[in-house]
Chain A
């Protein structure tokens, strides 16, 4: 039996082979597994108690680790000295690191081999326990499924047919060996009569049952996942402060862009996030994420794909809307991320980055041109990026017509968008003829002075649409609201739009480097123009009364001002910031702006823990956050409660249906009543064996109730159970009648009449319940053991002490 489970797991090993380079990775793993199985086989063969087996197996594994992985250090190649332990520690660490940083297949370094070997040894121990000690070889299938899940989780390629067949074959061998061992212990059961037609129909019935069950299982496996909400919209995932991004390819987890943005904005520090050196005079913003889906409240990111096609090796894909790769105005920027900052899964890059030189594995999304990593890159990363700083002129933009060349629709808006948004957009763009003019009109609406920049905007009333509230009611917000609202209105006006998130250019330092601090985190809209591609606009007020380091591109400055007047300045308002400030974001107003931002009220702390995944166009008052956050928590609690009472519900349903079925045909009624009695007894903590006849079982129940009998007390009869509460006389009589009905139904030529069975069952149940303690009663209700298949009777595998 232990050897069969070894064979079974060994045949599952090819499942892992696509993920490790090199042919010999499985050798140490196999040696360890063989040792585990061997220990089990040797120790058990004289029929000893199975209890110490796992400990002996663990010892064997520990003893093997040294010669296999640190033999050159250890004296005699065996003894684990301090050096050996240290060496194993570092090996393990290296292995973990290798697995962390590299995509499969990983190279078979000794660390990786050690990890694989230890894991598989653990698996082997579990399989040995399940198949030999617990005698449930079917449960080994769960372990195999776990192994099979490894390739499914690591990449979408799935499992090859040959390893899958090998794995299934191994499992079947294990089951067959188990059946054979049982048969040898017992002698085979005498098969049912073959000659009669009943035997044939029985066989047919079995085949039909098995095929039907399998068909239903396959059907469920295929359809249920379709009906379930996919993982990334699942409420459970938004409960965590991270989200799943990615479909089809590798699933990557990252801190959600907006959550981290708000955290950055809300944090009071002006800690430097990154520094860079560039040969551009006026560096552009650094983009990190692009949010291109709007659901009415939030801007979110389309899942990005990490596949081998999109892997970054030098050149990045050409941006949408540009005819050819321009060669002019190449800017080289060397960016160093701060070692203290949290690691970034997305690289902050200028737009459009033509090539990136960066260590590690990075992928570029061709649509949004964000560059991201699937495994956590190290902090303090430095990389060089070559970008093309191509800014369209006002004339170019003014000439563009309706966008046609854009793949995918970036003009989608939710159907139930408030009509006032449309009315407002139409009113603002009434005079505009071209898309560019419409965009300018929208930007002017935000920068025109009627909006107030505030990092801690007041709460949105619970019933208000956050977007409408921001646009028409309070007009207070920060970059997210500005960027999100403008993008929505641009879409409304027929211009493809999306929201980019990242950092402003930051502040020039004395030595020619630029420093970007936490406070420079920013969001802005990108609008698409035919021929010019995606173009950045800036609706957020700049200067000390707004996002201090924000800058407005030349093409987005209003012409009416007749010059480089910042749209951030508001003519009507006296505290207008001088134009220079806006143009030179590295100006000395920056500290003031930081200070203004720094005393962010504590209300803004709340979004950090907010479970809602992303809110961009909405306001983030504490109120609105609270409105949304109770829902997942409440549903989690509800689901938890449901899970808690689920077993009780199922059990109650089973009991109800059995009670209802008691009035049927006599023999069946007796069987049903007896089965219900058995399950009740199991629920209450009793044990049940299939070697006990109804009569013997009823006598045992009447003697001791559901308290598990000690093996010694079984033979000494009723006197031994003095500690137990006695079962009442009515219960004993009811148990007797139930047993009599069952044995008559099983063994007599004609069953007894079924009347009275229901009352007897109730009496017996009440009597059995009354003799156990409160704890056992509660457990019987909440965790009915009769639902667990392993509690069901089956022949015990080893001889027990005799009762004679």
Chain B
């Protein structure tokens, strides 16, 4: 059953904005699906984070298409894409860029690093040293780079897609909570369904479908749409619902560390984008529920009791969502 019935003219301008968002998002999604098949939820979440101007953390085992996902996104949106392979010897300046002294002109010139792009793919981010991680994460939060006392603003849209491999933890520096908190959402791609994997053999057989991927929109358009997403209505009841949910993670006896106020803001922004992607100009509790796990779970630390009972933060958040009453009639 689909409830995504569009309103007939009632939303006014907001509704036409939303329809534009849906149209663009459908095109981007269609393009990406030629590369990443059978993962509509992952694609939807990726688009949500893109429109909400957040950063995405993809956590999964190798080979499931983490990098492919990020690349496909970069291709489908006609914008600059940079890729950084994180290794233990990577330095902060390898990301942010360096100032180079020009002897002929007797001055320093700033050579922008790979972070100066619309979409930055940080592969295996947990392999870099904490110092380097910190440099990237600072850029993520502040959307600017400070080198030698000069500040260089990053272009909008700016989205970091970082991947990490949870299985092979040898020689890695796990991201501390404070840095995980800067990612708006965390997804795991997961193995494809058998049918999708069969299709994949065909499509990826001769050459990468990435090469055939033509851009369907551009950075300016995305920037414009992101501004429109910010206008999506969040009813007072839904705001309270979000705060209640975040509060519940802080008071839950199963969690050692709850979600931060930044998580609240991320959740609201993501919910706006998610609602817009579904053609609505207002946020439903359902949007919040659908986003609660990807937006909140990676920021939480389970308490000792939950650890002994092998309850993951995902399960705990889902339990909280299942028990929080949705906002009723005004």
Q: Is the CB of B5 within 8 A of A736?
A: yes
User: Residues of A contacting B314 with CB < 8 Å?
Assistant: 804
Contact A187 B282, CB 8 Å, known A736-B3, A746-B328: no
For B10, B238, B248, B327, the residue with the greatest tally of chain A CB atoms inside 10 Å of its CB is B10
Find out whether the CB atom of B322 lies under 8 angstroms from the CB atom of A190: no
Instruction: Give the chain B neighbours of A740 by CB distance below 8 A.
Output: 3, 5
Q: Are A804 and B315 in contact (CB under 8 A)?
A: yes
Interface membership of A698, Cβ < 8 A: yes
Contact B1 A702 (CB under 8 A): yes
**CB < 8 Å: which of A691, A698, A795 contacts B3?**
A698
Q: Is the CB of A747 within 8 A of B325?
A: no
Interface presence of B7 (CB below 8 A): yes
Interface residues of B in 232-264 (CB under 8 A from A): 233, 235, 237-238, 240, 243-244, 247-248, 250-251
B69-92 to A contact mask, C-beta < 8 Å, 1/0: 000000000000000000000000
Which residues of chain A are near B1, meaning CB under 8 Å?
698-699, 702, 732, 735-736
A227 sits at the interface (CB 8 A):
no
A693 with B285: CB separation less than 8 A:
yes
- Indicate if the CB atoms of B282 and A695 lie closer than 8 Å: no
A799 at the B interface (CB under 8 A): yes
Q: Which residues of A213-272 have CB atoms within 8 Å of chain B's CB atoms?
A: none
B322, A691: Cβ atoms closer than 8 Å: yes
Task: For residue B155, give the distance in angstroms from its CB to the closest CB of chain A.
Answer: 32
Total interface residues on B, CB under 8 Å, equals: 42
Q: Is A55 an interface residue (CB 8 A)?
A: no
CA gap between A699 and B4 in the complex, in Å: 13
Give every chain B residue within 8 A of A190 (Cβ-Cβ).
Answer: 240, 243-244, 247
Q: Are A795 and B323 in contact (CB under 8 A)?
A: yes
Q: Are B323 and A804 in contact (CB under 8 A)?
A: no
Residue in A187, A699, A732, A796 whose Cβ sees the most chain B Cβ within 10 Å? A187
Given A693-B286, A695-B286, A752-B7: A800 in contact with B238 (beta carbons within 8 A): no
Whether B330 and A746, one on each chain, are in contact in the complex, defined by CB atoms closer than 8 angstroms, is yes
Task: Indicate if the CB atoms of A691 and B240 lie closer than 8 Å.
Answer: no
- Shortest distance from the beta carbon of A446 to any chain B beta carbon, whole Å: 78
Contacts of A747 in B (CB 8 A): 233, 235, 237-238, 282-285, 327
Least CB distance from A700 to B in Å reads: 10
Nearest A residue to B312, CB-CB = A804
Complex Cα gap A752–B15 (Å):
13
* Bound Cα distance from A672 to B217, whole angstroms: 44
Q: Nearest Cβ in chain A — how far from B177, in angstroms?
A: 20
Q: Could you tell me if B284 and A695 are in contact, using CB atoms closer than 8 angstroms? A: yes
Report if A290 contacts B (CB, 8 A). no
Cβ-based interface call for B324 (8 A): yes
Does A803 lie at the interface of the complex (its beta carbon under 8 Å from any beta carbon of B)? Answer: yes
- Of A184, A690, A698, chain B has the most CB atoms within 10 Å of the CB of A690
Could you say which residues of chain B place their CB within 8 Å of the CB of A793? Answer: 325
Distance in angstroms between the alpha carbons of A750 and B7 in the assembled complex: 11
| Number of A-B contacts defined by CB within 8 Å | 113
Q: Taking the complex as formed, is B63 at the interface, i.e. its CB lies under 8 A from any CB of chain A? A: no
Q: How far is the CA of A105 from the CA of B273 in the complex (A)?
A: 74
Who on chain B is nearest to A736 by CB?
B3
- Chain B minimum-CB-distance residue to A732: B1
Residues of A within 8 A of B96 (CB): none
B318: interface (CB < 8 Å): yes
Chain B minimum-CB-distance residue to A186: B248
- A187–B247 touching, CB < 8 Å: yes
Q: Are B3 and A695 in contact (CB under 8 A)?
A: yes
Give the chain B neighbours of A753 by CB distance below 8 A.
10
- Residues 290-330 of B contacting A (Cβ, < 8 Å): 293, 314-315, 318-319, 321-330
The answer on a CB contact under 8 Å between A799 and B243 is no
Q: Which range holds the interface residue count of chain A?
A: 35 or more
Choice from B3, B247, B280 contacting A739 with Cβ under 8 Å:
B3
Contact among B10, B251, B283, B286 with A752 in the assembled complex (CB-CB below 8 Å): B10
Asked if B281 lies at the interface with its beta carbon under 8 angstroms from chain A, I say yes
Assess whether A187 is in contact with B244, with CB atoms less than 8 Å apart.
Answer: yes
Pick from A739, A750, A802: contact of B318, CB below 8 A: A802
A745 to B30, CA, bound (A): 33
B contact residues around A803 at 8 Å (CB): 318, 322
Known contacts A691-B323, A695-B284, A698-B3; decide if A748 and B235 are in contact (CB<8 Å): yes
Q: Confirm or deny: A667 has a beta carbon within 8 angstroms of a beta carbon on chain B.
A: yes
B interface footprint on A670-712 (CB within 8 Å = 1, 0 otherwise): 0100100000000000000011110110110010000000000
B133 at interface by CB-CB < 8 Å: no
Considering only residues 753-774 of chain A, those with a C-beta below 8 Å from chain B are 753
Q: Among residues 697 to 737 in chain A, which have CB atoms less than 8 Å away from a CB atom of chain B?
A: 698-699, 702, 732, 735-737
Partner of A799, one of B2, B5, B323, B326: B323
**A189 interface contact, C-beta 8 A:** yes
Residue B289 at the chain A interface, CB threshold 8 Å? yes
Do B284 and A802 touch (CB < 8 A)? no
Interface pair B289/A690, CB less than 8 Å apart: no
Residue contact B283 to A671, C-beta cutoff 8 Å: no
Which residues A183-205 have CB closer than 8 A to chain B? 184, 186-190
Cβ-defined partner of B328 (8 Å) among A690, A744, A752, A795: A690
Report the bound CA distance from A480 to B220 in whole Å. Answer: 109
Q: How far is the CA of A667 from the CA of B235 in the complex (A)?
A: 14
CA distance A674 to B328 in the complex (A): 11
Task: Determine if B286 and A804 form an interchain contact, defined as CB atoms under 8 angstroms apart.
Answer: no
Q: Which residue of B lies closest to A671 (CB)?
A: B329
Of A184, A746, A747, A793, most buried by chain B (CB within 10 Å of CB) is A747
Question: Quick one: which of A695, A702, A745 has the most chain B CB within 10 A?
Answer: A695
- Residues from chain B with a CB closer than 8 A to the CB of A604 are none
User: Once bound together, how far apart are the Cα atoms of A167 and B251, in whole Å?
Assistant: 33
Q: Which residues from chain A contact B238 at a C-beta distance below 8 Å?
A: 747
Contact A748 to B325, CB < 8 A, known contacts A696-B286, A802-B318: no
Known: A188-B247, A795-B323. 17 other contacts (CB 8 A): A186-B248, A186-B251, A186-B323, A190-B244, A190-B247, A671-B329, A691-B323, A746-B329, A748-B235, A748-B281, A749-B11, A793-B325, A795-B325, A802-B315, A803-B318, A803-B322, A804-B318
4 tightest A-B contacts by CB?
A690-B325, A187-B251, A187-B247, A748-B282
List 22 A-B pairs, Cβ < 8 Å.
Answer: A186-B248, A187-B244, A190-B240, A667-B329, A691-B323, A693-B284, A739-B3, A744-B282, A746-B237, A747-B235, A747-B237, A747-B238, A747-B327, A748-B11, A749-B233, A749-B281, A750-B10, A793-B325, A796-B323, A800-B322, A802-B319, A804-B315
Interface residues of A (CB under 8 A from B): 184, 186-190, 667, 671, 674, 690-693, 695-696, 698-699, 702, 732, 735-737, 739-740, 743-750, 752-753, 793, 795-796, 799-800, 802-804
